[in-house]
């Protein structure tokens, strides 16, 4: 039963990452402006991040949907979502209302506590996938039998 739940979570989170990445590809200028709106990163890092992050998201999403490198992809997803949650929380606490840019240029959601909660929820899902992915269960079973 838990394997089926993890499978559904893995595919759903993978689809979220695929959508987020795909909607940003080709819009690096808009995404760079949204990243800059958080006022967290040095200017020199913004453009490279705006160019690379969508492709990282596509890769994470594809790996999750296809079940390739599942645990590693899930840990990357968890790390990314935790960083996003922290960045949005930082903006909210500093009174900065800006687009998160999460789902491309047409995404009009702005930095808010519900956005932080959404990203923390995705973080939790990714951690569950990383811990309970079939590869993780097989390793746990091998370790139990070797003792």
Classify each residue of 53-67 as buried b or exposed e, where b means 16 or more C-beta atoms within 10 Å of its C-beta: bbeebbbbbbbbbee
In the chain, what percentage of residues exceed pLDDT 90?
78
Contact, 102 vs 84, CB < 8 A? yes
Low-confidence ranges of the chain (pLDDT < 70): 134-147
Beta bridge partners of 110: 99
**pLDDT tens digits, one per residue of 73-91:** 999 999 999 999 999 999 9
């Amino acid at each position: 039963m838990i394997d089926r739940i993890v499978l559904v979570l893995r595919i759903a989170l993978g689809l979220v990452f695929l959508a987020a990445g795909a909607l940003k590809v080709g819009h690096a200028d808009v995404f760079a402006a949204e990243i800059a709106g958080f006022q967290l990163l040095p200017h020199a890092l913004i453009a490279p991040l705006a160019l690379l992050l969508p492709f990282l998201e596509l890769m994470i999403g594809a790996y999750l949907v296809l079940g390739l490198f599942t645990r590693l992809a899930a840990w990357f997803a968890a790390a990314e979502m935790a960083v996003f949650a922290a960045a949005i929380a930082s903006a909210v606490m500093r009174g900065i209302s800006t687009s998160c840019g999460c789902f491309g240029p047409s995404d009009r959601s702005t930095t808010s506590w519900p956005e932080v909660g959404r990203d923390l929820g995705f973080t939790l899902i990714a951690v569950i996938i990383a811990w309970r992915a079939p590869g993780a269960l097989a390793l746990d079973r091998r370790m139990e039998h070797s003792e």
